[in-house]
Amino acid sequence: MHASPVEVSLQAALDALSDPIRRRIVRELAGVPDWSRPCGTFSHLPVAKSTLSHHFAVLRGVGLLEQRDEGPRRLNRLRRPEFDDRFPGLLPLILTEPEDRP
């Protein structure tokens, strides 16, 4: 887990980003400072807690996300520069995507 974007294939990156829930996670993380949002603050997303945990694991697996333990919670950071370097242009497409409801 916690792969570096450098070692990630385009296939894996596209698989990870083709899920709308994961793109919402990425967008929300892009809008806040690093290490400011634990996983629990994403409970408004319309999926179960275990499913959310799965999505975070996928994002970690492609190097889009970094997580750090702080007490009982797990803080998140978007590895934006690293990912931009590996897949230039891809993240901006996700971040400018209009939100879909709910």
Partner DNA sequence: TGTAGTGTTCCATCTCGATCGAACAGTTTA
Partner DNA sequence: TAAACTGTTCGATCGAGATGGAACACTACA
Contact range with DNA by CB under 7 A, out of 25-33, 36-44, 82-90, 93-101: 36-44
Per CB under 8 A, contacts with a copy of itself among 13-52 are 14-15, 17-18, 20, 23
**Is 24 one of the binding residues for DNA (CB under 7 A)?**
no
Nearer CB in complex with a copy of itself: 8/67: 8
Residues contacting residue 28 through CB under 8 Å, at least 6 positions apart: 37, 42
φ, ψ at 43 (rounded to 5°): -70, -5
Say whether the peptide bond before residue 20 is cis (omega within 30 degrees of 0).
Answer: no
**Is 68 one of the binding residues for DNA (CB under 7 A)?**
no
**63: which 2 tokens?**
């190097």
| 8 Å CB contact between 92 and 26 | no
Binding site for DNA (CB under 7 A): 15, 19, 21, 38-40, 46-58, 67, 71-74
